[in-house]
Amino acid sequence: MTQKTQSFYDRNAVILKIAAIGFLTLALLIPMAMIQSLVMERKSRQREAADEISSKWGAEQRLSGPILVVPYKTFEYDKDSKRMVTVGHYAYFLPEELKITGNLAPDIRNRGIFDVAVYSSDIKVEGFFKSLVIESSESKQVDWDGAFLAIGLSDLRGIKEAIRFNWNGSSLVCEPGVRSGGLVESGVTVNNPLRGGILVDEYRFSFNVALNGSQSISFVPVGRETVVAVKSSWNNPSFEGAFLPNSRTIAQSGFEANWKVLELNRNYPQKWTDSEVNLDESAFGVALLLPVETYQITERSMKYAILFIALTFMVFFFVEMMRKLRVHPVQYILVGFGLVLFYLLLLSLSEQMGFGIAYLIASLGIVAMITSYSFGIFKNWRLSAILAGVLALLYGFLYILLQLQDYALMMGSIGLFIVLGTVMYLSHRIDWYSIGSGRGEGSIG
């Protein structure tokens, strides 16, 4: 019975070994999943740090308006009560022209090891409204004295100075909060711009607002023609939202960006009554990105972990078959754990230093460790040097993939094609059926 069992093992040694290596490769995905969850946890900690700084400095800012709101009443017959009732309404008017000029002074604040991009901004807003048309009648009464201007600001904590609103040459005071529920959730209100109901052909306005904010700033194009110009000394911007800049300049000294949005480019009119309008869907702006998103790029690198493990195990397997050595599954596991440890080293080191330096240190450490360990298995410096070269090529190739984000898929596909072709070339002369007839000399248990 023992002889039959031994004979079966010898005849199927290659298949059993390949099955064991495949199982170990898949099993190593468990610690990889644990490291990936650690990356997500650290990413969550970073968001918490950003939220904590934003709560004291100012969160992401969004500027909407000004929007002119005129209340009016209608007198309607109620069939249930069989009498005339008064119903309140709002008429909303948007500017004919809106010009916004913003200057962002960026800074980096940190909470522990986490950095957050913040800014101080000086924003100038100017434009004009056309004459208003709301006809009064016996069934409609316009409350011109109750009219107000709503200016949306997403985080009032970021306001550094009082806002002086200039309206046709008159200075009006901005009060906190907005009265038109649902239009903008947070902001300031300018009361009584149409006191007395004296209407003119044009209403010109201007105001300056000094805002603190974090990470990004955006604008809502409420003008029939909205022109926005933003500049900053930050050299790593990301343009976001419904519209990209018409022109932009990004240099080491900073960036400048200009937008022009027309009424026809958005999905709401210049004036309406009562109905809810989603202004935020047309917002656009810029985010201040940190030079390297550590957690995002570490997550991307982990997608190639299975490739690293499989190719390294393949080198050990070919050496084992061609040199008639025996590599114990425990030795495969230890090598696999070394490959997995690379990502933990990369994560911890990149939090403390630049990503490039962290990647270099982590990859050199793992290559040196696995190479020295393989020498204890192979007893041959030449084979260990080949393994070191393979690992160095893999880590170098991965670094290039991480840097070439737009071409990562193409480069990855070409790389896999080359790897598969190399494996096919190296293995085409191996007589797989003859392997397993004997364990050979110099085997390592």
DSSP strand pairing (271-273 vs 83-93)? antiparallel
Give the pLDDT confidence score for residue 99 in this predicted structure: 95
Share of the chain above pLDDT 70, in %: 83
Across the range 96-106, mean pLDDT stands at 92
Distances from the Cα of 116 to the Cα of 106, 108, 189, 443, angstroms: 10, 6, 31, 56
* Residue 431 identity: D
DSSP strand pairing (254-262 vs 225-232)? antiparallel
Given a cut of 70, whether residue 137 has pLDDT beyond it is: no
442 — pLDDT class (breaks 50, 70, 90): very low
Q: CB count, 10 Å around CB of 314?
A: 18
196 — pLDDT class (breaks 50, 70, 90): low
Strand, helix or coil at 178?
coil
**Could you please report the per-residue DSSP string of 88-116?**
EEEEEE--SEEEEEEEEEEEEEEETTEEE
Are residues 4 and 425 in contact, defined by beta-carbon separation less than 8 angstroms? no
Q: Please state, in angstroms and rounded to a whole number, the distance separating the CA atoms of residues 419 and 397.
A: 12
Q: What is the pTM of this model?
A: 0.71
Give the pLDDT confidence score for residue 126 in this predicted structure: 92
Given a cut of 90, whether residue 110 has pLDDT beyond it is: no
Closest CA to 92 of 150, 145, 135: 150
Given a cut of 80, whether residue 273 has pLDDT beyond it is: yes
Q: What's the longest Cα–Cα distance across the chain?
A: 110
Across the range 25-36, mean pLDDT stands at 86
Given a cut of 60, whether residue 5 has pLDDT beyond it is: no
Given a cut of 90, whether residue 227 has pLDDT beyond it is: yes
Give the pLDDT confidence score for residue 444 in this predicted structure: 34
The dihedrals phi and psi of 115, each to the nearest 5 degrees, come to -105, 145
Higher-confidence position of 99 and 329: 99
- Of 40-54, 308-322, 395-409, 426-440, the least confident: 426-440
Strand, helix or coil at 310?
helix
Residue 399 CB partners (closer than 8 Å, separation 6+): 359, 363
Strand partners, 173: 164
Token pair for 1: 């019975």
Q: What does the domain layout of the chain look like in residue ranges?
A: 2-44+295-427, 60-290
Q: Please state, in angstroms and rounded to a whole number, the distance separating the CA atoms of residues 163 and 206.
A: 10
Residue 114 CB partners (closer than 8 Å, separation 6+): 45, 46, 49, 50
Tokens 């490291």 belong to which residue?
Answer: 35
Q: 63-83 in b/e burial notation, b at 16+ Cβ within 10 A? A: bbbbbbbbbbeeeeeeeeeee
Q: 190-221 in b/e burial notation, b at 16+ Cβ within 10 A? A: beebbeeeeeeeebebebebebbbbbbbbbbb
* Summary mean pLDDT of the chain: 80
pLDDT in tens, 344-388: 888 888 878 778 888 889 889 988 998 888 888 878 788 888 888
Given a cut of 80, whether residue 79 has pLDDT beyond it is: no
Given a cut of 90, whether residue 322 has pLDDT beyond it is: no
Token pair for 317: 């397997």
Report whether the peptide linkage leading into residue 269 is cis, meaning its omega lies within 30 degrees of zero. Answer: no
Tokens 């114990």 belong to which residue?
Answer: 328
Q: Which of 173-182, 380-389, 425-434 has the highest mean pLDDT?
A: 380-389
